[in-house]
Amino acid sequence: MTLNKIRIMAGQWRGRNISFPDADQLRPTGSRIRETLFNWLQPHIIQASCLDLFAGSGILSFEALSRGANKVLAVDALASVIQQIQTQADILKSKALTTLQENAYELVQRPPAHWQIRYPNRVSPHYDIIFIDPPFADARLSEICEGLANNHWLKQNSLIYVEKSKKQNFTAPEAWQLLKDKVAGEVSYQLYRMQE
């Protein structure tokens, strides 16, 4: 299996490379965007519980943990991707990262309590920070966001990061307040807050 590398930018694992497999539509968040994102999140990341949907390379999960997040659930549908993220967590001796091979669209269509029964100790009742970075060719971004909003994955003041193609139309759920909005090349990315 061919492996690519990407570098963690800050925190306890600053400068460490993580490896990830070649996979269709796997597109790690670039360093420039990651730097901006985690500058936005810096006041909120310490002790946060994070959900990384479409985890891919795992770089957002590892960057969050490196900077002080309490725990991360990394979700991806591909077994090879999840196995490599778990391998990297083992190399870094991280007990705070849990991997879950699951279709993200199916995961969020039921409340976390349902998945806690199926995956005890792996799914939190709510998340402080959610990363949503699906393949650009997948046009179901709104489906994921509605599932999160309607099925109690979020709490008041949860932060939701969305990364998408700048060509893709997207309307956030009504209760999500747009905090930040930027474009870098072909990528559009936003940070929202869940309001009451």
* pLDDT by position in tens, the chain (length 196): 567 888 999 999 999 998 887 766 667 788 899 999 999 999 999 999 999 999 988 999 999 999 999 999 999 999 999 999 999 999 999 999 999 999 999 999 999 888 888 888 788 888 999 999 988 777 789 899 999 999 989 989 999 999 998 888 888 999 999 999 999 988 999 999 998 7
Q: How many CA atoms lie within 13 A of 37 on its CB side?
A: 32
Q: What is the pLDDT of residue 2?
A: 64
Q: What is the pLDDT of residue 1?
A: 55
- 185 by DSSP, 3-state: which? coil
Specify the DSSP class assigned to residue 194: E
Taking alpha carbons only, the member of 34, 22, 69, 73 closest to residue 48 is 69
Sign of CA dihedral 40, 142, 66, 70: positive
- Identify the bridge partners of residue 49 per DSSP, sorted by sequence position: 71
Q: What is the pLDDT of residue 41?
A: 97
Indicate the pTM of the whole model: 0.94
Q: How far apart are the first and last CA of the chain?
A: 46
Q: Which residues are within 8 A (CB) of 116 and not within 5 positions of it... i.e. 6 or more apart?
A: 122, 123, 125
How far is CA 135 from each of CA 11, 90, 141, 164, rounded to the nearest angstrom? 27, 26, 9, 8
Six token digits for residue 132: 């949503």
